[in-house]
Every structure is written in structure tokens, then in C-alpha cells.
């Protein structure tokens, strides 16, 4: 389970990446060996670069609390800065700082950052839209599935693979992820693969039965059938199912990433959740006027703010062997 405040740390790391050049290495979180005791100290965000022959380390600590942060937190950050030998420390608080904390930060040379909410009415002036449409792709009921095995697979391996997948349920862990060997099911393939034109053509609330060919967007992040002492690759999975698409309007919130001298970067975000998965879209405007879109979506989430990468339905490969499930 992610620790409280992790979302703020990830946001800060993203904002600092946009503000930094390509020579700055940014990690979140990072573990740095302390000067005393030799133990590792965790920092929320670290930035490393070189100036001439000198290595420069900046650490950033983040807090997503409801009350302004106090001098005690500033002192703790100053102590951590000294312990890890950082050249600079930055404190980021979504709720701001007390006046004593600001004075102590100035005395200790610690820079302060806040995430400031901006009037929602200004979102339209900034982006030209105040809401975005969230799209949820639902597989209502799977009727059948074919797992396609290349003809290059040996007869013995093909036979063993067929015996594993034949008649298995859609949620049975008959596959593995090629990236790390994690057990997976046909439903996991559905969640991971780019969605089909069939789904993009559905009207919100409409249910339709159709055939979808699931192919990898990245061959290194695909699936295989585990057999004795090996795995059998698969080229695609063909499913027949009832599908439905739901849509909802999600309001956009605008924010500013503020330093002591004013805004460093502006942004707008929208997020929605469905069945335990959350997708977040963030638009960032850099000081030079350029804009960046970042979409954060967990693996296996059938959610999007716009159509997922679309790959049209194609015919079965005549040189492949279908493995009926």
C-alpha cells in the first residue's frame, strides 16, 4: 500500500522534471547513505547533477497535510540535509507554512514550495475547457477466447500449451507476464492490450457483442503460456464478448507550483476512479509557455480520458495455430 502523501511526492517529481534540463537525475523516493552510522536515509525526491567537476545533490521533502507546516519539520529537514550531505534542501507543503517555519527555513537556507489551488472558474480561461470526458471500457461477459500460438513452436511444446489453456476459465492463471513471470489470465490480457475500434465506436451505455483481437503494444510487456521448464509465446488473443462503454464528465482543477518568488509552473488536473482503479490526467504549463500532458494509469485499469491506443481488428494469421480456451 502506498504511503500517505505519495501522490504529492510523485507530482513534485514530475514538476521538477519539467523544470530541469536533461542532465539532472531525479529519483522519487531515493535512499541516500548517511554520514553517521552508515545507514540509508529515505528522501521523498532527490535531484543530482554536476557543475564542472562538482557533484550537486538537492533533496526535497513533501507533506500533504491539512495544517500549515511548523518549525519542527523544517528542523528535521535541516538535520536530514546535514546527514546525507545535500547541497540544498527544499520543503514542499500543500497546506503552506507557519510564519515561524518560514523564518527558520530562511535561516537554514531551505527553500519552500507550495501547491496552490486556483479558482476553478479560471480553468476555462486557461485551457478553454472546464471538464473532460472520462471513458470506461467494460467487458461485460466473455463468451469465448482463442490464444494464438506461432507455428514456430515445436509440436511437443504446442501440445503441452494446448492442454493447459483448453477449457480454462477467463480468470484462470494459465499465462505469465513475459516481463517478470507473474501469473496472469486472459482477463489480464484484455486489461493490458490496446483497445479495439469496436469499443471506440460504441455509444455510451450501449452494449454490443463483438470480436476483439488483443495484440501487444510492446512485445517485451506481453504474455506467454508456462510449460515444463519453458514458456510458449503467444502472438495474440482473440475474444468474443459483450462490451459496454460508460462515460462521465470530470471537472478540471487548476493549481500552481509556487516558490518564494512566485509561480514556478502551472497545471491542471482531473482524476476519476472505477472499481478500485484511478486514472489521473495532469496538464503542465512550463515557464517558456510549452505544455505537457501526463496521464497516470495503473496497470490493468480499463479507464481513460480519451480513447486508448487503437489497433484495428485484423484477420487471424494464417501461419498461426489457434489454441481454443
Q: Which runs of E-coded beta strand occur in the chain?
A: 25-27, 30-33, 40-43, 45-51, 54-63, 88-93, 111-118, 131-150, 175-177, 183-184, 207-214, 223-227, 230-233, 236-251, 253-259, 262-274, 277-285, 291-296, 303-304, 320-324
Shared domain for 157 and 185, answered yes or no, is yes
pLDDT of residue 297: 60
pLDDT of residue 325: 45
| pLDDT over threshold 50, residue 316 | no
- The pTM for the full model equals 0.56
Higher pLDDT, residue 209 or 312: 209
Query: Which of 49-53, 216-220, 314-318 shows the lowest mean pLDDT across its residues?
Result: 314-318
The answer to whether 20 and 26 have CB atoms below 8 angstroms apart is yes
Range 187-192 average pLDDT: 85
Alpha-carbon distance 64 to 97, whole Å? 12
Give the pLDDT confidence score for residue 1 in this predicted structure: 44
Cell numbers representing residue 241 in the block: 464478448
Query: For residue 311, what pLDDT band results from cuts at 50, 70 and 90?
Result: very low
Residue range 59-107, pLDDT digits in tens = 999 999 989 999 999 999 999 999 999 999 999 998 999 999 999 999 9
Are both 143 and 17 inside the same structural domain?
Answer: no
C-alpha cell at 321: 495455430
Name which of 11, 26, 33 is nearest 80 in CA terms. Answer: 33
Quote the domain boundaries for residue 75: 6-117
Q: Are residues 110 and 149 in the same domain?
A: no
Q: Are residues 223 and 109 in the same domain?
A: no
* pLDDT number for residue 293: 64
- H helices present in 6-70, as ranges: 6-19
Clarify whether residues 41 and 159 are in a common domain.
no
Q: Does residue 262 sit within a domain?
A: no
Residue 307 located in a structural domain: yes
Helix, strand, or coil here: 260?
coil
Number of domains, the chain: 2
Question: Are residues 193 and 279 located together in one domain of the fold?
Answer: yes
Q: Which of 189, 159, 158 is nearest to 171 (CA)?
A: 189
Average pLDDT of the chain, as a whole number? 81
Q: What is the pLDDT of residue 281?
A: 72
Amino acid at each position: 500500500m502506498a504511503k500517505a502523501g505519495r501522490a504529492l511526492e510523485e507530482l513534485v517529481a514530475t514538476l521538477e522534471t519539467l523544470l530541469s534540463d536533461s542532465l539532472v537525475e531525479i529519483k522519487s523516493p531515493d535512499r541516500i547513505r548517511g554520514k553517521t552510522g552508515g545507514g540509508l536515509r529515505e528522501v521523498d525526491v532527490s535531484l543530482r547533477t554536476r557543475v564542472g567537476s562538482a557533484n550537486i545533490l538537492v533533496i526535497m521533502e513533501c507533506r500533504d497535510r491539512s495544517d500549515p507546516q511548523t518549525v519542527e519539520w523544517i528542523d528535521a529537514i535541516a538535520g536530514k540535509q546535514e546527514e546525507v550531505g545535500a547541497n540544498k534542501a527544499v520543503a514542499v507543503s500543500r497546506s503552506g507554512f507557519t510564519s515561524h517555519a518560514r523564518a527558520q527555513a530562511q535561516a537554514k537556507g531551505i527553500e519552500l514550495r507550495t501547491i496552490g489551488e486556483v479558482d476553478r472558474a479560471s480553468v476555462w480561461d486557461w485551457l478553454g475547457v472546464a471538464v473532460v470526458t472520462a471513458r470506461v471500457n467494460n467487458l461485460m461477459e466473455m463468451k469465448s477466447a482463442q490464444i494464438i500460438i506461432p507455428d514456430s513452436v515445436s509440436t511437443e511444446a504446442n501440445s503441452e500449451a494446448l492442454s493447459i489453456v483448453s477449457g480454462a476459465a477467463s480468470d484462470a492463471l494459465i499465462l505469465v507476464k513475459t516481463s517478470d513471470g507473474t501469473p496472469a489470465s486472459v482477463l489480464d490480457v484484455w486489461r493490458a492490450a490496446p483497445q479495439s475500434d469496436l469499443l471506440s465506436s460504441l455509444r455510451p451505455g450501449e452494449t454490443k457483442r463483438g470480436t476483439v483481437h488483443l495484440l501487444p503494444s510492446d512485445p517485451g510487456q506481453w504474455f506467454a503460456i508456462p510449460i515444463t521448464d519453458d514458456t510458449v509465446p503467444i502472438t495474440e488473443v482473440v475474444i468474443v464478448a459483450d462490451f459496454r462503454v460508460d462515460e462521465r464528465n470530470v471537472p478540471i482543477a487548476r493549481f500552481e507550483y509556487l516558490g518564494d518568488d512566485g509561480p514556478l509552473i502551472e497545471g491542471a488536473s482531473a482524476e476519476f476512479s472505477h472499481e478500485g482503479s484511478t486514472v489521473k490526467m495532469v496538464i503542465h504549463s512550463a515557464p517558456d509557455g510549452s505544455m505537457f500532458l501526463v496521464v497516470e494509469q495503473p496497470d490493468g485499469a480499463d479507464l481513460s480520458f480519451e480513447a486508448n491506443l487503437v489497433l484495428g481488428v485484423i484477420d487471424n494469421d494464417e501461419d498461426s495455430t489457434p489454441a481454443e480456451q
